[in-house]
Structure 1
Amino acid sequence: MTNSVKNALMLLAVVLLAVLPLLLVNGDFSGADAAAEQIIKEQNPSYKPWFSSLLNPPGETESMLFALQAAIGAGFIGYAIGWFKGKSSRAKKQ
């Protein structure tokens, strides 16, 4: 199996891991912002927010984007560690 096929399979696996939970899990994915807003409204019913969001995606989308951001960050960190490790091992061989 060539590297390009392996890379394509890994990319497919990552996409499936991001999409399948959204399709298969029926749950409440509301975040901390929604919980905080609910508590504020309970304590002070006359509270009015300063501004409202221009785009209100469903809670599942918000959670998925947060997880995607974390995965991309972890990928960059892993790549950097591997790159520096490879650079170090090449320098030791010379």
Structure 2
Amino acid sequence: MKRATKINLLLVLAVLLLACLPLVLGLGDDEEEPFTGSDAQAETAITENDPDYEPWFSPIYEPPSGEIESGLFAAQAAIGAGVVGYFLGVVRTRRKYAAGTASGTWTADPAAPGARPAPAADTTAEGDADQAETGARS
């Protein structure tokens, strides 16, 4: 197994452990809502410390239910992940092709699916004429 594969598996295992550990240990069982968001916790702390507190402004849009709010949050996260993933893919692809064309050969493995062949060595007009005569133009 490659070193990079081992590292990726360890990272996935660490993320799963961090996500499941609070559930397994029963953290938050003594609370009414054990895994509330930080906004709700801040609101509770503010009302406990200063019951007369008046907010500076109200939200522009208040979803009618918690499910809609969660759905909007998930959509926002998905759009953000898509934008970041697209950007990283574009940057990686540009670097890959810039490195391949600068040296005159492609960096991809020729046996890999979707790999492009190296550019032809003879790109002169004379070479094109020879191909046209033999009918070997691709």
TM-score by length of 2: 0.38
1:61 aligns to what? Answer: 68
1:33 aligns to what? Answer: 39
The structure with more helix, counted as a fraction of residues = 1
> For the residues of structure 2 that align with 1:29 and 1:61, how far apart are their CA atoms?
18
> For the residues of structure 2 that align with 1:92 and 1:53, how far apart are their CA atoms?
49
Name the count of aligned residue pairs: 68
The one-letter amino acid paired with 1:67 is A
Which region of structure 1 is more displaced relative to structure 2, 55-64 or 33-42? 55-64
Q: RMSD over aligned Cα, in angstroms?
A: 2.8
TM-score by length of 1: 0.51
Q: Give the direction of change, closer, same or farther, for the CA distance of 1:68–1:88 in structure 2 (3 Å limit).
A: same
Larger-Rg structure: 2
> For the residues of structure 1 that align with 2:35 and 2:66, how far apart are their CA atoms?
5
> For the residues of structure 2 that align with 1:42 and 1:53, how far apart are their CA atoms?
22
Unaligned runs of 5+ in 1: 1-26
